[in-house]
Amino acid sequence: MVPAPASRRAARSLRLLAGVVLAICGAAATFTASAEGTEAQRLRFRQAYAVAQQGGDAWKAQAAGLEGYVLFPYLEAAALEHDLRTLDRARVDAYLARYPGLIPAADLRRDFLGELARRKDWTTFSAMYQPGLGDSLSCFALQAKLARNEPLVFDRDLADLWKKASLPNACDPVIAAAHDQGLLTPERLWTRIQTAAEAGKGGTVASLAPWLPPEDAIAAQRIAQALNDPASALRTASTWPDTPRHRQAVTLALQRMARKQSTVADAAWSTLSPRFSLSEQQKGAIENALALFHATDFDESALERLATLPPGAQTDAAREWRVRVALARQDWKSALAALDALGESQKDDGEWRYFRALVLEKLGRKGEAQPIYRSVAQEATYFGFLAADRIDTAYAICPSSMATDEAREAALLADPGLDRAFELYAVGLQKLGRREWTAALAGRDADTQRLAADLAFRKGWYDRAVFGLSSGDALRLYEQRFPLARQDGVVEQASQAGIEAPWAYAIIRAESAWMSDARSGADARGLMQLLPGTAALVAKRNGLSWSGGDSLYEPTTNIVLGTRYLAQMAARYSGAPWLASAAYNAGPNKVDQWVEARGTLDPDLFVASIPYKETREYVARVMAFAVIYDWRLNGNALSIGSRMTRLGNTYSLPSPGAVRKPVACPAPAVAKAAPPTAPAVMEPAPAEASSAPAPQEPQR
């Protein structure tokens, strides 16, 4: 993370109540700070913080004069955290006394408790421990009790932990002690085994199995095997006894195997179904898994399997995949029957309303299709834009703005927690800033949270606006939710890379929601979520400088490399933004497989047939966001269909005079039927974890 751009954005932000100095009381009575740091304070803080992170007291000289700065407590905390292994309680207590209630104080207490546990200093640990600091420290507290030779009481000490499918390593000695004290009865062991099995935690099951009576232990071990290695479980399952626990193991193994190799699971099911007296519920779960994963492979038998599932085996996923398979086959009669079989709440979804209209149109029932298209076209979503194209009407985008309230804004800016949050953002410590933000706004009413998000937008902290304006009427605050951030060079770099700026903006918005320090579980980094290895190759291919993975947290660097990688993906698919977006999310090899299997489909049908839920929704989001960003940049927007060229056709960048679709609120053709309360844009509630991959549905 490079702090300079954040600082420059903050320096250009709107200064409310100019000339008024707000004295802000910190969390501790002895600590006061000014409302907004100066650039000189921020520069000195960054320098002192870098020194403090090395430990010791050298930071104090760097921090001279910052004693009244709102972030001053973070300096000493950074030094103490570095020196954790050598700290004594007196230094920690002194810090906690000076800054009670501050996040760095809570962190220091938690981390010092962990260090005391490492030292086995249970006396000091017990004196400083507070409940509610997480499972690890809860179990360390129980270890402290054991060290005092105090017996465990299950209902008091273990009941809450026992409800969890997995626990940290700190709990292992506690659970072993509970076993040695005779607290882990077979009934209690089976209760936790069932919890773990339902959560797919085979390791927990395997760890508990040896403590059961011999016959029960074998059954538990087979449940663990079914979860951890379903193939080996199924190879030996024909020798298992037909008991309730072994039936559970067989059911789990078949469900797991269906995800990996549906044909292998089919063969095992044919062999084992006569062997075990499974309940109707268990049979239904197995048949559902087999049908669902045959469907994601688009096997010949998939549609029939899904259509003939018993009522008790039907799930929302199975019903939806019945529609997807029929659409991919372009079997319109079967598709209509599948749409009719959806649950009532599913039928209301914009996706299935759009495809009902399309199927009716394909069946020659255009009169029935038109009103459905008109209804869906009221919504500023991927399917709403597709529907508007079908009936050649304007896109219904209804922007709104927030009323100003200087008194409430001043009160918010005077809030100590938000003050710290904004300053942490300004000095480039965004992760810490988000924690202060969340704590400061916890429990606040919706209007206050939206006002805070708008203030963040005006200060250039765009991800707070995106996350804070994600529901209700706030969805219409397009300026805040779809920031243009021209200072990061998106328009210029997209042009140089040979791609459209609205598409590049859409990728950033979908990938990171403008969180420049975003980092996924796969180590994708920054605004456009590039892997360091990929970024290095892109830099080499384009003759660009490369200074390592951390440079991806610098917005301009990330955008330069990200736009080139997008251009690379687009070139692979004849320039098509929609296919390149799918490749950006799922990888080009997967997209190539899908193109080979179903490349003759129209783009909307192809997207509906993508096996990965995450990628289906990602493509839809990016294409919708591209329309919105096009409108924000140009006043109107290219049709969504123009960016969704059929496979085999070459996509060309729009010329300066390209015809764009009008945008209206509501669309003229449906003025009476399109109240301004229609959904503003399709997107899930944003997750603070940024772009860590979502679970695939179904998942391979």
- Measured over all CA atoms, what is the biggest interatomic distance in the chain, rounded to whole angstroms? 83
Number of residues that this document lists for the chain:
700
d(CA 175, CA 57): 42
511 included as an active-site residue:
yes
Terminal C-alpha separation, the chain: 34
- Neighbour count for residue 512 (Cβ, 10 Å): 25
E strands in 533-675: 663-664
Of 36, 511, 554, 617, the catalytic one is: 511
Check if the beta carbon of residue 628 is closer than 8 Å to that of residue 399: no
Q: What is the DSSP letter of 171?
A: G
Which amino acid, one-letter code, is at 529? Answer: Q
d(CA 664, CA 394): 6
- Kindly give, in sequence order, each residue whose CB lies less than 8 Å from that of residue 400, ignoring residues fewer than 6 positions away: 473, 476, 477
d(CA 481, CA 469): 7
Ramachandran quadrant class, 304 (left: phi over 0; alpha: psi -120 to 50; beta: rest): alpha
Check if the beta carbon of residue 678 is closer than 8 Å to that of residue 396: yes
Please give the structure tokens belonging to residue 138. 């809860």
Check if the beta carbon of residue 681 is closer than 8 Å to that of residue 381: yes
Check if the beta carbon of residue 660 is closer than 8 Å to that of residue 634: yes
Residue that the structure tokens 């991927």 belong to: 382
Check if the beta carbon of residue 227 is closer than 8 Å to that of residue 205: yes
Chain CA centroid to CA 402, Å: 27
Rounded to the nearest 10°, the torsion over CA 534, 537, 543, 545 is 60
Distances (CA, A) of 432 to 55, 105, 220, 250, 379: 19, 13, 44, 47, 37
Give the chain's radius of gyration (CA, Å): 29
Show which residues are catalytic. 511
